[in-house]
């Protein structure tokens, strides 16, 4: 029996989305089931079983998870301890001497490891890698036993300058692994051999903090899958947009911090590229936030570091996602100076917008959409409510926005959307214009439940060329799981001058990265179209603190790295520096700070045509009726369509509303929507 089915699963707060691809036939199907709590494996398996009757036929299950994100945000990781260098136990708590907000001098910080669980031992490595004091192993053992006695489930070993020489950490971790009752032992040189102690310690401690939680969660899922007869590969999406094995995820759970959103961005990139757009800005409108990400020339942008919350720094390559506090549940309010504001306070999904009748009486962005007729009050998304309370939403808008500003209800609702759209547009400008990308060359891709209501406004506000609404915007992340490549990232700090670096030693580090990466790919049991090695050097002129990422062309033949030459390194730096800053510094000395290696196994991309509409009728067949919708300053008779019933090639002029089970698409009067051959909707100005 051939196992040819690949399944992507995205577990969200409300729904578990499943995307099933039969690689043999190219046929795809989706399922959306309620997320089960606290054990999410119930919904997980339920969703799969809706589309697959025999788990034994499934080759791979790929999962985008928010288990790690939520454990970090809600501070629900394990009780962990730290063993660190004498004199440095407070590094995690001192951060980089920052503060939560520029103005106000308010707020404090509680580290994930309290001070009494951070123990010091005699040991010291200097910056050049010299071991000044060998690690005191009896002290390490005593510390580990003390932490166990205090009830720690996981432990992180954090030594100064371990990036330069991991020997002391290696000996300590070996000893602790020998006596620790579970595999939850992390050390900083294994997680991130990169200079900067706070960032390295924080990343490692957060890894330990997540390990029991994430490993337990994945273990429950794996057991449930296996019990159902599953014999394939179970893999997890990483924050960098690649997938990893479950083993790796249990060892390095910190790499799952943005797993869920990363899968969505990967899918967006693939859908857009198939449809002919290589430059895309994705926008995910959730209940409390708007998440934006940039894809340029088909490539997602990775940021080297992110902060989950104040002081909770993770230094790992992650898909860059800019977030602002303006979502469907964000509350509209008028300040003492008479200015209309949106958020950051949000009604979330509970109690939710006023129209949901959950007890909130302050107007939200969704309430404005409801009052303006853009959301059908009789068929709310999610199916929990029978009808939305339009009148209550209108009253709330009147009381909190209309009266203070002297506006009629409809004008006040339009005003709420206008300000909300301006804020969302600001987030898009932040990732595009401010970085020198011309928005006209980009398509906007909304996904998630609310994005497609705001797409037209984004085109108008930012000057984006067009919007592309995927055929199934609600299951974008699950689809991303199925198409993500397998990827391992490595880093090693080098701290050397470019013209005198030992290139043989550098090549050996590259070789170690390649070997480790290929070993992981080989163990995955999945086939790859190809394997790519990407090498980058973080470089700068001596004296500079900001580095540039310099791509280095390195030949790898049959898995063997050819050492780069000094001239190659210098030329690569000059090219990158010139592109970034216009001109070189004639007397500058080039420095080489870190090596970054990515080992990527390219997975087969399935043909999105399998999702294409089968409908052959005309657009009229998809017409459900008409309803009054408010645009600018007047009501307009607006056609309402069943989106998935539209045939390819259909052109719907605005004003129109296209509905499907998981989203509502607004076609403003100045726009038209075209169904492309894949079933995506392309929103563009009317000719």
Partner 1 sequence: MSGIDPITLAVLAGRMEQIADEMDATLFRSAFNPIIAEAHDASHGIYHASSGDTLVQGKSGLPIFVGVMSFAVQAVIEKAAADGDMTDGDIYIFNDAHIGGTHLSDMRLVRPFFRNGEIFCYLASVGHWHDVGGAVPGNYNPGATDAHQEAFILPPVRIARGGVLQQDIVDILMRNTRLPQSAMGDLNGQLGALDLGVKRLDALLDEYGGDTVQGALDALTDRAEALMRADLSALPDGRWEAEDFLDNDGITDTPLPIRVAVEVAGDRLHLDFTGTAPVTAGPVNIALPTAVASCYVAIKHIFPALPANAGVMRPIDITVPEGSLLSADFPAPVGGYTETILRMIDVIFSAMAKAAPERVPANAYGTINALSIAGKRANGAPWVMFSFYGGGHGGTSESDGLNHGNAPISTATIPPMEILEAAYPVVFRQWALRPDSAGAGQHRGGLGATYEIELLEETAEAFLFGERGRFAPQGAAGGATAALNAFAYQTDEGWKTPPLASKIRGIRLKRGQRVRLDTPGGGGFGPASERAPGYVARDVALGYVSDAEADAAYGSAWREAGQ
Contact footprint for partner 1 (CB under 8 A): 87-91, 93-109, 114-116, 124, 126-127, 132, 160-161, 163, 195-199, 335-341, 405, 415, 418-419, 422-423, 426, 429, 433-434, 495, 541, 543-546, 581, 585, 587-588
Residue 433 or 522: the one with the smaller Cβ distance to partner 1 is 433
Q: Which among 86, 166, 78, 152 is positioned nearest to 119, based on CA atoms?
A: 86
Question: Which one, 131 or 556, has the nearer CB to partner 1?
Answer: 131
Distance of CA 509 to the CA centre of its chain: 29
Contact by Cβ (8 Å): 431, 648: no
> Exposure of 206 by Cβ count < 10 A (0-12 exposed, 13-18 middle, 19+ buried)?
buried
Task: Count helices and strands (H / E) in the chain.
Answer: 17, 37
Task: State the minimum distance, in angstroms, from the CB of residue 324 to partner 1.
Answer: 11
CB of 108 to partner 1, least distance (A): 5
Closer CB to partner 1, residue 267 or residue 324? 324
CA–CA separation, 209 and 253 (whole Å): 9
Shortest spacing between CB 343 and partner 1, in angstroms:
13
Q: How far is the CB of 514 from partner 1 (least distance, A)?
A: 27
Q: How far is the CB of 43 from partner 1 (least distance, A)?
A: 38
CB nearer to partner 1: give 110 or 527: 110
Q: Which is nearer to partner 1, 99 or 220 (CB)?
A: 99
Q: Which two tokens stand for residue 354?
A: 């006023």
Q: Residue 40 burial by CB count (10 A; 0-12/13-18/19+): exposed, middle or buried?
A: buried
Nearest one of 312, 326, 345 to 210, comparing CA atoms: 312
Q: Residue 270: helix, strand or coil by DSSP?
A: helix
Residue 591 to residue 2: CA distance in whole angstroms:
53
- Per DSSP, the residues of 627-666 read EEEEETTEEEEEEEEEGGGPPTT-EEESSEEEEETTEEEE
Nearer residue to partner 1 within complex by CB, 251 or 630: 630
Quick one: 419 or 468, whose CB is closer to partner 1?
A: 419
Q: How far is the CB of 336 from partner 1 (least distance, A)?
A: 4
Structure tokens at 276: 């002919």
Give min distance, CB of 198 to partner 1, in A: 6
Bridge-based pairing of strands 634-642 and 656-660 is parallel
Q: Are 479 and 19 in contact (CB under 8 A)?
A: yes
Tokens of 416: 């709420």
DSSP per-residue string spanning 403-428: HHHT--HHHHHHHHHHHHHHHHHHHH
Minimum CB distance to partner 1, residue 408 (Å): 13
Residue found under tokens 């006040």: 412
Which CB, 543 or 687, lies closer to partner 1?
Answer: 543
Helix axes 137-149, 167-179, angle to 10 degrees: 40
Instruction: Select 102 or 530, whichever has its Cβ closest to partner 1.
Output: 102
Cα distances (angstroms) measured from residue 350 to each of 56, 346, 383: 39, 10, 15
Residues 6+ away with beta carbon under 8 Å from 259: 63, 64, 65, 66, 68, 69, 236, 237, 238, 239
The minimum distance between CB 667 and partner 1, in angstroms, equals 23
Measured from the CB atom, is 335 or 378 closer to partner 1? 335
Q: What is the CA radius of gyration of the chain?
A: 27
CB 392 within 8 A of CB 400: no
Residue 18 CB, nearest distance to partner 1 (Å)?
40
Is the Cβ of residue 68 or residue 81 nearer to partner 1 in the bound state?
81
CB of 453 to partner 1, least distance (A): 18
């Amino acid at each position: 029996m051939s196992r040819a089915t690949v399944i992507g699963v995205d577990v969200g707060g409300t729904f578990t989305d499943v995307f099933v691809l039969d690689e043999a036939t190219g046929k795809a199907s989706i399922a959306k089931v309620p997320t089960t709590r606290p054990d999410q494996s119930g919904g997980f398996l339920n969703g799969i079983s809706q589309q697959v009757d025999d788990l034994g036929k499934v080759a791979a299950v790929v999962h985008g998870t928010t288990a790690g994100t939520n454990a970090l945000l809600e501070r629900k990781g394990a009780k962990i301890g730290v063993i660190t260098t004498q004199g440095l136990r407070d590094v995690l708590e001192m951060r980089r001497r920052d503060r939560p907000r520029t103005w106000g001098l308010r707020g404090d910080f509680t580290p994930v490891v309290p001070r009494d669980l951070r123990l010091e031992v005699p040991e010291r490595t200097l910056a050049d890698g010299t071991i000044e004091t060998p690690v005191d192993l009896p002290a390490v053992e005593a510390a580990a036993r003390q932490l166990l006695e205090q009830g720690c489930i996981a432990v992180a070993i954090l030594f100064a300058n371990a990036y330069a020489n991991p020997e002391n950490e290696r000996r300590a971790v070996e000893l602790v692994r020998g006596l620790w009752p579970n595999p939850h032992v992390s050390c900083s040189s294994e997680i991130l051999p990169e200079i900067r102690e706070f960032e390295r310690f924080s990343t490692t401690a957060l890894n330990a903090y997540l390990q029991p939680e994430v490993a337990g969660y994945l273990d429950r899922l794996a057991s449930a899958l296996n019990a159902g007869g599953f014999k394939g590969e179970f893999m997890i999406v990483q924050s960098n947009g690649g997938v990893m094995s479950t083993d790796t995820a249990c060892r390095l759970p910190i790499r799952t911090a943005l797993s869920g959103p990363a899968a969505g961005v990967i899918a967006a990139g693939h859908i857009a590229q198939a449809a002919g757009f290589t430059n895309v800005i994705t926008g995910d409108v959730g209940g409390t936030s708007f998440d934006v990400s940039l894809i340029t020339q088909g490539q997602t942008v990775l940021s080297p570091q992110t902060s989950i919350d104040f002081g909770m720094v993770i230094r790992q390559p992650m898909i860059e996602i800019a977030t602002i506090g303006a979502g469907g549940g964000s509350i509209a309010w008028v300040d003492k100076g008479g200015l209309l504001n949106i958020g950051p306070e949000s009604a979330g999904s509970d109690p939710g917008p006023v129209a949901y009748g959950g007890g909130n009486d302050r107007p939200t962005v969704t309430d404005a959409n409801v009052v303006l007729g853009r959301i059908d009050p009789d068929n709310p998304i999610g199916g929990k409510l029978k009808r939305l309370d339009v009148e209550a939403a209108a009253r709330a808008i009147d009381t909190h926005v209309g009266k203070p500003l002297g506006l009629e209800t409809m004008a006040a609702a339009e005003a709420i959307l206008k300000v909300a759209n301006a804020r969302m547009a600001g987030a898009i400008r932040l990732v595009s214009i401010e970085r020198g990308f011309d928005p006209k060359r980009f398509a906007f891709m909304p996904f998630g439940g609310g994005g497609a209501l705001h797409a037209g406004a984004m085109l108008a506000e930012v000057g984006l060329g067009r919007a592309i609404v995927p055929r199934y915007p609600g299951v974008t992340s699950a689809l991303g799981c199925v198409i993500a490549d397998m990827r391992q990232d490595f880093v090693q700090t080098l701290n050397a001058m470019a013209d005198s670096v030992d290139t043989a030693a550098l090549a050996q580090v590259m070789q170690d990265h390649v070997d480790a990466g290929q070993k992981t790919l080989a163990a995955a049991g999945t086939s790859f179209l190809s394997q790519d090695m990407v090498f980058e050097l973080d470089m700068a002129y001596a004296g500079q603190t900001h580095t540039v990422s310099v791509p280095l062309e390195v030949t790898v033949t049959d898995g063997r790295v050819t050492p780069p030459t000094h001239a190659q390194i210098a030329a690569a730096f000059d090219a990158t520096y010139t592109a970034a800053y216009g001109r070189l510094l004639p007397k500058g000395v080039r420095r080489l700070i870190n090596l970054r290696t990515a080992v990527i196994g390219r997975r087969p991309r399935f043909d999105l045509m399998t999702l294409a509409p089968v409908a052959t009728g005309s657009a009229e067949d998809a017409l459900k009726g008409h309803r009054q919708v408010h645009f600018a300053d007047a009501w307009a008779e607006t056609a309402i369509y069943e989106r998935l019933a539209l045939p390819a090639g259909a052109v719907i002029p605005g004003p129109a509303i296209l509905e499907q089970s998981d989203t509502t698409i607004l076609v403003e009067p100045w726009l038209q929507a075209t169904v492309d051959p894949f079933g995506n909707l392309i929103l563009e100005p009317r000719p």
